[in-house]
Every structure is written in C-alpha cells, then in structure tokens.
Structure 1
Amino acid sequence: MAEQARPAPIGVLRSAAASAAAGCTLAGAGAVTLAVVAGPGPGLTGYVSEAGIAGSGHAPAYRIGVYALAAGLLLLAVALPPALRVAAALLTAGGLGTALSGAVTCSAGCPLPPFERATVADLVHGGASIAATAAVIFAMVAITLTHRADRPLRRLSGIAAAVALPLCAAVGLAMLLVGRGTLVGVLERVVLAIAVLWGLAAAATVGFPRR
C-alpha cells in the first residue's frame, strides 16, 4: 500500500503564510505607490486615498494594491505563533479594515470633518482606514509586550511602535487643528511607510527565524 502523505508541519505552514504575506505586502505597496505617484492627485497636499477615487485612471491599480495589503495583513496574522493571539486578532482587524477602505471609495478630495463636509462613504472610508492603521500599530505594541514572543520580533515591533505612535498622534492632531494639507499628507505617508516596512520585516522574521 502506498504510504499516506503526512500533513505539513505547522512551522512549514506558518513560513509559507509569512512568505505570502511578504509578497502581498510588497506587491500591494508597489501598486498603491504607482497609483499615487503616477496619478493626477494633489501630491503631498492630499491623502493617499485620493488615488482611488472613482473615475481616476489609476483607481484600479490603487484598489488592487489595497486588497493585496489587506491580504498581507491577514496572512501575517496566520503566520504568527499561538503566543501572539492578541496581535494576530489586531492584524486580522487591520486586514478587514484595509479591505473595507478599498471597497468603499471616498469622494473627490476625500473630505473629512471638522474642516470639510463629508459624505457617508467618506466617513466609512476614512474610519476604516484610520481603524486599520491603528490596529496595525497596536499589533506592534502587543508583540512588544508579549514576553513569549521571539526577541528579534519583539525588538523590531518595539522600534516600529516607538516611531509610529508619536507620528500617529501628530497626524490626529494635525487633522483636527490644521486639516487637509502638506503636513497631514507627509505624516500620513510616513506612517503608512512604517507600517509596510514593519509588515515586510515581521513576515521575514516570522517566516525565517534565526536558529
């Protein structure tokens, strides 16, 4: 009788999920960056989401990129070990929020209160984007505070959280006090870049741990 195939070890499955997470994150970041840079948007004075406004020639690339980033977060959640259940739950929430932000596009200018009049779609899109980013940042914090997590992953997450948290606070204050403009646009892009770089590094750390 032919020997039955043995199921793949859990470690192999996690490594595969981590590799897929890195691939999706890299592809998604590339597609979104292409849409933002090549599109006719307002540059650094606007939001990244403006590249995905309905009718824009680069909206399909932007939306595909956002969905790929969402898949990267969900796959990274799968790749995390059982000790990091809280972080995995936060990354799952971040992935779902990212997917929602891609499914619900904002109107021209992506207006948000208190300085602009926003539609329901604008509020849903903006709320999903903010919640997704917050979930990823809190996942970094959760990993940092989990003592059973591998030291390289804890150190990586601690550094990323230490840089991202004050920047997120600055974005929130700028949106409330200044509104849409260069300051918010630059800060938003820096925060998103940190989240993407952390996602790539975390996937590499989880998928290829040091022996």
Structure 2
Amino acid sequence: MAEPDRPGPPTPRAAAASAAAGCILAGTAAVTIAVLAGPGPGFVGYVSEAGIAGSGHALTYRIGVYALAAGVLLLAAALPPQLRLAAALLGAGSLSTALSGTVTCSVGCPLPPFERATVGDLVHGGASITATGAIVLAMVAVALHRDADRRLRGLAAGAAAVALPLCATVGLAMLLVGRGSLVGVLERVVLAVAVLWGVATAVVLGFRGPPVGLVRTGGAGATGDGDRDPPSSAGVDHRRPPS
C-alpha cells in the first residue's frame, strides 16, 4: 500500500538556494539604501559612488555588496551538478563582486578614456565589469544546457535576452560617451535584471520537488526507485491450453 509522501528536511542544495535568495535580497536592499540616501549624483553617476571612502553610507554599501557576493556564491552551490560551467561563472562573479566592495573607487569613479583613473579605480571598475559579465554568461550557460530544468532554462533565456544587449550598450556608451545619465540608467537596469534572475532562480531551486519517478511504497517487494512488481498471475489456470 502506497504511503503519502511527507516533506522531509531540505536538501543542502535547496538550503543553499533559500540562503542565496535571502542574501541577494538583503544585499540589494542595503545597496539601494546607500545609493538613495547618499549624496550621490543620482542617475548620472555609477552605483559604486555610494561606496566611496568617507561617504556616510559607505559601510552600508559595502555590507550590501558582500551580501550580494555571498548570495551569488550560494546560488552557484545550489545549481544542479550538470550546470558546472554556470556554477564556475557564478563563483567567479562572486569573487569579483567581493573585490569590487573591498577596493573602492575615488570620487566620481573615473574610468578611461574620458577621465583620469587611479589604480584603485581601475581595479574596482575591472572587478565590477567582470562580476556583471560572469553572471550574464552564467545565464547563457544555463539557457543553452539541454539537461537543465525547463524552468531554469526559461528564466535564464529571458534574463540573458535582456541583459546581453544592455551590457553591449553600456560598454559602447562608456567608450563613446563616458560617464552620464545614459550609462547610469543602463547600469541600474542591468543590475536589476541580474538580481531578479538570481532571486527567481534561487526560488525555483529551493522549491523543487523530489526527483521524478521516486515513489515511496510499503510492503514486501516494494522498491525505492518507483519500480513496480510484475502483475501477479494468481488465479490463472495454467492447465488450460490456449484456444
């Protein structure tokens, strides 16, 4: 007689996914507070300007960035084993995010070719660009993997379809136009897409059901992999020849 399935303790991957969603949301909230409450230039400047040393909200910004880095790393740990490339890209994105929070930029976060940048500005800018690029490439890796869950592939495909052209536009704008409202707005949109994808993916991974075909049964002859015993031939008269 089949027994009703009872919810067991969450698997390590599901627990990592839940923690990833919490860290990403908390980190996004902290960075948003630092950006909105700080005396930054609004949409004309970069998000990173909220973490400039000496700013009244630099600590809040750094805490938020580190929480985001932890969330991305936990998301990498929560991915299924077959998505090793995506997990590696998320791991690289997590390390780059943490580096961007550790090495802050100077006032205005200047970057070439239109502004004179310090070594710290170059390190911070390079880490931020690498983090964003790695996360977007992770979306592509999930979307193109045939063995990935259909929901994960759909989320990744939609996010990548939005993020890829935006990233290309940001890169061209930084080279051709420089710091301004165009880059500032597009940067925030790209970051919002990455956050939404990370949280949505973590939610899907955290609430996935048991593997298909896993049936819990009781009694003799029951198997744990969903196999059923062959139908019994009791009651069949084997002495009667076939007609």
> In which range does the TM-score fall when normalised by the shorter chain?
over 0.9
Structure 1 residue 120 and structure 2 residue 119: aligned? Answer: yes
Determine the structure 2 residue equivalent to 1:180: 179
Q: 1:80: which partner in 2?
A: 79
SS of corresponding position for 2:83:
helix
CA distance in 2, matches of 1:147, 1:26: 29
Q: Give me the CA root mean square deviation.
A: 1.2
**In structure 1, C-alpha distance between the alignment counterparts of 2:197 and 2:209, rounded to whole Å:** 18
| 1:26 equivalent in alignment to 2:25 | yes
Q: Which amino acid aligns with 1:149?
A: A
* Aligned twin of 1:193: 192
- The amino acid that maps onto 1:120 is V
Counterpart of 2:27, as a letter, is G
- Which residue type is aligned with residue 102 of structure 1? G
Q: Aligned AA for 1:206?
A: L
Query: Which residue is 1:14 aligned to?
Result: 13
**Alpha-carbon distance between aligned partners in 2 of 1:112 and 1:202, rounded to the nearest angstrom:** 33
The answer as to 2:58 corresponding to 1:59 is: yes
What letter is aligned with 2:181?
T
The residue type paired with residue 175 of structure 2 is L
The CA distance in 2 between the partners of 1:138 and 1:75, in whole Å, is: 17
Distance 2:209 2:174 in 1: 41
Percent identity of equivalent pairs = 75
In structure 1, C-alpha distance between the alignment counterparts of 2:17 and 2:180, rounded to whole Å: 36
Instruction: Give the deviation of 1:207 after TM superposition.
Output: 1.1
Q: Which residue does 2:170 correspond to in 1?
A: 171
SS at match of 1:148: coil
Q: Note the C-alpha offset of 1:64.
A: 0.2
Q: Whose helix proportion is higher, 1 or 2? A: 1
Offset of residue 209 of structure 1? 2.0
TM-score in terms of structure 2 length: 0.82
Give me the whole-angstrom Cα distance separating, in 1, the residues matched to 2:209 and 2:52: 43
Give distance in 2, aligned partners of 1:199 and 1:210. 19
1:110-159 deviation digits (Å, cap 9, x = unpaired): 00000000000000000000000000000000001111100000000000
User: 1:83-120 CA distances to partner (integer Å, 9 max, x unpaired)?
Assistant: 10000000000000000000000000000000000000
CA distance in 2, matches of 1:18, 1:45: 34
Say whether residues 1:38 and 2:37 are aligned partners: yes
Report how many aligned residue pairs link the two structures: 203
- 1:153 corresponds to: 152
User: Which ranges in structure 2 are unaligned for 5 or more consecutive residues?
Assistant: 1-7, 211-243
Shift of 1:210: 5.5
In structure 1, the gaps of 5 or more residues are: 1-7
| Number of the residue aligned with 1:136 | 135
Could you tell me how far apart the structure 2 residues matched to 1:71 and 1:132 are?
13
TM-score, normalised on structure 1? Answer: 0.94
Moved over 2 A (4+): none
d(CA) in 1 for partners of 2:207 and 2:172? Answer: 38
State the SS of the aligned residue for 1:83: coil
